[in-house]
Structure 1
Amino acid sequence: MTGDIAVVAIGRNEGDRLKACLASLDGLRVVYVDSGSTDGSVAYARLQGVEVVELSPDRPFTAARARREGYEHLCRDGCPEYIQFVDGDCALDPEWLPQGLAALNSNENYGIVTGWRREIHPDESVYNDLCHHEWDRPAGDILTCGGDMMVRRQAIEDAGPFDDQVIAAEDDEFCVRVRKAGWKIHRLPQEMTRHDAAMLRFGQWWQRAVRSGHGFAQVGYMHSPYFAREQKRVALYGIFLPIVFLGGLIFAPLIAMLALGAYGYNFVRISKGLVDEGLPLKRARRLARLITLSKIPNAIGMFEFHRRRLLGRKMHIIEYK
């Protein structure tokens, strides 16, 4: 089984999270790609006997670049049939590999299979809990998936590897091209990775939401109309209504109150949707507050992408850890 598959793990200053990640990959061929870590990650990975690729600092670090260079290093001596991509803050579930391989071997039209990502510490913060909820998605044929995925080599050859220039939602962008190349993407009802978001502060969550907005704009620009609905919501709740509210404070207080009412309505709508999904009311309201507020940092991220694009600037990563 292990001769058919190899792993590309990526990371930057993941510390103990990387140790857990590499421990879960024992017995496999692993290429670890490091994006300028200063915490000893490279030395530790080498001590574990894995192959290490250190990205040169002459170009911006991105997760997409790390996955692409890891894949290219892996294939220098002949590519395996399947490649498991995993982030350095994730540990692979011990039962995942045989399940994923069986799905790819028995379904020739699957280019990617993925499973469920779960948070290790969802109760440590509302921000971790939001991540835990985001990972909980239905099994079956899907349009896109996250960066933890098992990919058929032929699908990468047909679609092309990850695009270095995409700094957020690079997994979405890659999946769009895989589907355009004629492959299906499937999520198995099986846990795949255990994720440690380590997101304990509001500022971390805010930066992550800014990065998401950048991804909405960049991938939407590259593959219109992908992310069109997300961009419309951000335009309404992250740009239009804040302008209306601020203008109303100066010229028409009633208009400002109506803008706040729109946010209240959105909060109630999101809360009800989460309850309908099975979440307890208290948890639903806690998550709904963040989801409602997220449109403002999303808008900042969308603006930043278009600013960089119009000025011809490089696309640098937006870090939250």
Structure 2
Amino acid sequence: MNNQIDVVIIGRNEAKHLARCIASVRASNGVQLGSIIYVDSDSADDSCAIATRAGCRLVSLQSGRMSAARARNAGFSLSDAGYVMFLDGDTVLHPDFLAQASQAMQGSVAVVWGHRRELAPHSSWYIRMLDMDWIYAPGETAFCGGDALFRRSALLQSGGFCAELIAGEEPELCARIRAGGGTILHADIPMTLHDLGIHSFAAYWKRAIRAGHAYAEVSGLCRRQGRELWRHEVQKNYLRALQLPLLLAAAVASCLQPHALLMLILLLAMPVRAVLRCRYKSGSVWIRAQYILHSYLQLMAIAAGQSRFYLMQRCGVRSRLIEYRSGGDHENRI
């Protein structure tokens, strides 16, 4: 088998991060590195020039519906290596990940991903909480994120990413890979550092809206194809989104009516249990309590994102790329 690894980097207005990302790929240890392919999604900055100067193969998408799925497919189509590593342009690849991940490609393993963490987790409360979202237990998983090493044969067999999707493309692809007998492995090794760059509530909320859109769109696509993915999660997201408003309403009611105190106590049991159950996220009870608050806020935005998708679908409006970072600091994701 061809043991070379091609790396596909996708980006949109990534001039701030791209040179660093490319340099981190070239610093990889112990692997046969093939092509570095940069796929640009209609950037307004000099991302393409940076990639060209760094010796990357360049694909420039300048028209049509932009999405991470479309960009990844465009890069993958140029690869002829045995493995393909996908990266977002705002990441820094760990120098040992490719070697360790390719060694883990044993048996039915078709995808290997490692630990992605934030580059500057203490630069804002939002990034600190979202950094904790990246913490997953190692082992076999249902899907990976945007950074992952794929067997090229698994990508060919599955047909690649679904270009129809503007979010949630990785879980949908992984579901097809698993249906074909492949395994998704979360290895207990460092993979990438990510520069999320969220410093406002508006960007934080918009990112979660994007996640809700992904749940709804992927669930609907799979249902139309006779497959099941995220249908129950979509329903649960609506129910879970009510937890924080109910808790606040119960707190107000308990101040006005003493008999409502029991309802407040019962509702408080849910976040308390959640704080206890996420000990693997942090050793600090205070940090875990903040993380649960973040989770409730995210669920409210996710439910809003789902509703937004269904409303647009009902109105016959096709969703476009949603960028949650402003100015020249965009990420090529919904």
- Say yes or no: TM over 0.5: yes
| C-alpha separation in 2, matches of 1:259 and 1:296 | 21
Alignment check: 8 A CA contact 2:40 2:71 kept:
yes
TM-fit CA distance, 1:62: 0.8
- Superposition map of 1:222-233 within 5 A: 222-223=221-222, 225-233=228-236
Equivalent residue for 1:238?
241
Displacement of 1:39 in angstroms is: 2.1
Deviation at 1:272, TM superposition (A): 2.5
Q: Supply the distance in 2 between the matched residues of 1:318 and 1:62 (Cα, whole angstroms).
A: 9
Quote the residue 1:138 is aligned against.
Answer: 137
Shift of 1:22: 0.9
Q: 1:290 aligns with which of 276, 289, 294?
A: 294
State TM-score, norm by structure 2: 0.83
Partner of 1:305: 309
Q: Which of the two has greater helix per residue?
A: 1
Measure how far apart 1:238 and its partner are.
3.0
- Deviation of 1:205 (Å): 0.8
- The TM-score normalised by the length of structure 1 is 0.86
CA distance in 1: counterparts of 2:122 and 2:52, whole angstroms: 33
- Please show how residues 1-321 of structure 1 align to structure 2 within 5 Å: 4-26=4-26, 28-57=34-63, 59-72=64-77, 74-75=78-79, 79-104=80-105, 107-223=106-222, 225-238=228-241, 264-275=268-279, 277-321=281-325
- AA paired with 1:286? Q
Structure 1 unaligned blocks of 5 or more? none
Secondary structure at 2:188 match in 1: strand
SS in 2 for 1:314: coil
* Distance of 1:28 and 1:152 partners within structure 2: 14
Distance in 1, matches of 2:294 and 2:146, equals: 23
Q: Structure 1 residue 89: deviation in Å?
A: 0.9
How far apart are residue 243 of structure 1 and its match? 9.8
Query: SS where residue 186 of structure 1 aligns?
Result: strand
Distance 1:169 1:150 in 2: 17
Structure 2 distance, partners of 1:84, 1:214, is: 26
Tell me the secondary structure at the aligned position of residue 114 of structure 2. Answer: strand
Equivalent position amino acid for 1:19 in 2: A
Superposed CA RMSD: 2.8
In structure 2, C-alpha distance between the alignment counterparts of 1:23 and 1:128, rounded to whole Å: 24
In 2: Cα distance, 1:179 partner to 1:227 partner: 15
Number of corresponding residues: 309
Give the conservation status (yes or no) of the 8 Å contact 1:86–1:149: yes
Q: SS at 2:286's partner residue?
A: helix
In the alignment, the residues of structure 1 paired with residue 187 and residue 204 of structure 2 have an alpha-carbon distance, to the nearest angstrom, of: 28
Q: CA deviation at 1:169?
A: 1.6
Q: Report SS of the residue matched to 2:9.
A: strand
Measured against aligned partners, the alpha-carbon deviations of 1:243-268 in whole angstroms (never above 9, x if no partner) come to 9999xx9xxx97x9999878755433
User: Equivalents in 2 of 1:137, 1:189: separation in Å?
Assistant: 9
Whole-angstrom CA distance in 1 between matches of 2:22 and 2:261: 53
- Give the Å deviation of 1:103: 1.7
Aligned 8 A contact 2:247 2:268 in 1: no
Task: Please say which of residues 87-96 and 234-243 is displaced more in the overlay.
Answer: 234-243
Residue 187 of structure 1 aligns to a residue whose secondary structure is: strand
- Post-superposition Cα deviations, 1:148-167, rounded to whole Å, max 9, x if no partner, equal 01111110111111111211
Aligned equivalents of 1:43 and 1:258: distance in 2?
63
Going from structure 1 to structure 2, the CA distance change for 1:111 and 1:262 (only over 3 Å counts) comes to: same
Distance 2:264 2:323 in 1: 30
1:262-321 per-position Cα deviation (integer Å, ceiling 9, x unaligned): 875543333232236543011111111111111221112101222233333323122111
Please tell me whether the aligned partners of residues 40 and 59 of structure 2 are also in contact (alpha carbons under 8 angstroms). yes
The answer to which of 152-161 and 235-244 deviates more is 235-244
* SS of alignment partner, residue 145 of structure 1: coil
The verdict on how the C-alpha distance between 1:240 and 1:138 changes in structure 2, with shifts beyond 3 A counting, is closer
Decide whether the 8 Å contact of 2:205 with 2:301 is kept in 1: yes
Assess if the C-alpha contact under 8 Å between 1:64 and 1:162 holds in 2: yes
